Chains A and B, each alone.
Chain A
Amino acid sequence: MKGASRYLPAIPVLLAYAALFGFGLLHPEKWQLVAQLAFYCALGQAFNLFMGMTGYVDFGYVAFLGIGTYGMAISISGLADKGLGLGVIGIGLILSVVFAVLLSLAVGAVALRLRGAYFAIATIGVNEGFRYLIEGARIWNGSEGIIFSSHLRELVGREAAMSLSTFWADVMVFGVAVIATVLTIVYMRGKIGYALAALRMDEDAAKVMGINVTRFKIIAFITSAALAGLLGATAWAVKLTYVYPADVFGIHYTVEAIIIVLLGGAGTLLGPIVGGLIYGVSKYYLAVYLPGFQLLVFAPVIVAVIVLFPEGTAGMVKRKLLGTALEKYIL
């Protein structure tokens, strides 16, 4: 596929985000739901960038969100009295990406040497291991965490701090989602996408064909981690203005990311958005009827999806539209 037309599949995704954003602006009473949906879509996209494209499952993924949250927390709590204003948020975003990338390099150095099951085993303890390092060595206040709402107020004033947490944090999540969309399509339509597709089918064959699979795996891993760091910094740090290690390293966020990607369709561009919307909306309504037991419903659904239609919703849509005029808009 040549020229700009190969980027056409980004249109439905970006339209979906625009529609969601517009809906939120028109219905302020539903803004919380909209923000939650945007978070889930972005989480799915960030997770999909590695899991979907490589077929490797990173069970410790939430660690990247956690460390990103710390990046923002440290910036705000440490630089509040330096008179930098909103620049501190920018520094926090940069720091969260740096932290996430560093952690992904450390994890990747070990885990990406391993294949399949061994990779999963190496990553399953990353979030817990990191949490216990923070608590055990009392790094960044240890298990007490960092509460920085007063620093944020000191930084930008009471009103602005309020609107940062209740509105602009969510807008930033939309921003992360758009970045994730752009990165995903550039990767999928670029050399790396084809290399990873080959890897997903048969890693040995890909290697023999001269593809430097390790290099592409590392790029996808780091990118996915950096996006997670940004999500942690925006959706958790700026929005909640506190961070506790026990919260931000909880494995159930990894579970949610897996559910979203699988529901939508792993390795597709549209999938995580579809999955994120389905998951977010059903979780919202399940919270009314079955408070606290959403996962009891979703876990069997996931088994069913894996067994019965492993390609997910977007995968099915893609197959249905094959050969029609809409084909070039779906990826």
Chain B
Amino acid sequence: MILEQLAGNLFQGVVLGTVYGMATMGLSLIFGVLKVVNVGHGAFIMVGAFTSFAVFEYLGLSPVFAIPVAFGIGMVLGMIFYYSSIRRLLKGPELASLLATFSFGVILEEGIKFLFTSDFRGFNWDLGKIDMGFTVLPYAKMAACLGSVAIAVLLYLWFNKTRAGMAMRSVVEDGVGARVCGVNVDWIYALSFSLGIGLTVASGVLLTMFVSVGIQPYMGGEYTLKAFVIAVLGGLSSPYGAFFGGIVFGLLENGSYTLFARIPGLEPFAMTRFFSFLILLLILLLRPTGLLKAK
């Protein structure tokens, strides 16, 4: 019984974890290229969730259409934030870019609250569900999982087959060298920043498949913390590391939930969140380079 429950939860963990992984790739991409930590990460996910909600509720379209819309919104937001401030802060102390991205998050949260109020919203994209014996998985979640894999593959192709993608990798490896070889580093920074934000906002659409009534302006904080745990698991500067970190995190989260739920006197939901914070501290302390890379 417990094993079946655990297996079911772990399977759900992989499905959710894949989406978590995709939701963290943007954070790692931005850190990898610009060495800027997007502390407002969760707020961008929230914007994606609201995009998904608006496309579904107001336009009556499938959330699939919300993905390109969200990606576009993210790209535009990324460009605006990059050229208005991030660009001028790259040479300054780390504190400046940290506080700036943090403020972007607050701007988005308060802006969305202004437009949509702080009520909880949600929608249900009902495609039916599949009974796998040990667990039941709605097709919508399955679609989100497959969508995440598809986006990760697209990003891989982008990095390996396009000029801009390869230029980004060259900047990560050696910024000065890339500049010498004629790479427009400033433009690569702008592109990476907005690509990262675009991916993050798009991931918000996919995540709405997992939160049926949790769409709210302040929903992002939780994802900021999770994304940091995942990014650190994956080594912080590698989008693929983040993708696998997401799957590991999904497993850890659901596995620990099953465990905490069996200990009397504990609130499993809150304990799981505390647990993820503990993982973050432990990894930062023991393996700051991530799980995959050797020290």
Contact = CB atoms under 8 A, between A and B. Distances in A.
Interface in A49-84: 51, 55-57, 59
- Interface secondary structure of B, over-half rule: helix
B107 interface: yes
B95 A57 contact: yes
| Chain A interface category by residue count | 35 or more
Interface stretch (A95-103, A124-132, A320-328): A124-132
Contact of B221 (A143, A251, A296): A251
Given A293-B110, A293-B114, A143 B267 contact: yes
B160 interface: no
Interface centre among B39, B99, B114, B221 (most CB of A within 10 A): B99
Interface residues of B, number: 52
A321 B284 CA distance: 44
Interface string A270-310: 00000000000000000000001101101110110011001
A120 B37 contact: yes
Interface stretch (A110-118, A208-216, A223-231, A234-242): A110-118
Contacts of B96: 306, 310
B149 interface: no
Contacts, number: 139
Contact of B228 (A111, A125, A266): A125
A306 B285 contact: no
Interface in B98-144: 98-100, 102-104, 106-107, 109-111, 113-114
Nearest to B35: A117
B246 to A, nearest CB: 16
A306 B100 contact: yes
A137 B92 contact: no
A299 B284 contact: no
Interface in A123-148: 124-126, 128-129, 132-133, 135-138, 142-143
A13 to B, nearest CB: 23
Contact of A132 (B113, B277, B284): B277
A298 to B, nearest CB: 8
A58 to B, nearest CB: 11
B94 interface: yes
Contacts of A258: 99, 102
Contact of B39 (A59, A113, A135): A59
A198 to B, nearest CB: 14
B270 to A, nearest CB: 3
A178 interface: no
A184 to B, nearest CB: 18
B37 A125 contact: no
A122 interface: yes
Interface string B22-54: 000000000100010101000000000000000
Contact of A124 (B35, B39, B272): B39
A307 B103 CA distance: 12
Contact of B284 (A114, A128, A138, A300): A114
B100 to A, nearest CB: 5
Contacts of B195: none
22 contacts: A113-B285, A120-B37, A120-B94, A121-B228, A122-B280, A125-B229, A128-B273, A128-B277, A129-B273, A132-B270, A132-B273, A133-B274, A136-B271, A136-B273, A137-B265, A137-B267, A143-B267, A251-B221, A295-B109, A300-B107, A302-B99, A310-B96
- 9 closest Cβ pairs, A-B complex: A129-B277, A136-B270, A136-B271, A296-B110, A299-B106, A135-B270, A132-B274, A116-B94, A132-B273
Given A110-B285, A118-B284, A296-B113, 11 more contacts: A114-B284, A128-B221, A128-B273, A133-B274, A136-B267, A143-B267, A143-B270, A295-B110, A300-B103, A306-B100, A307-B88
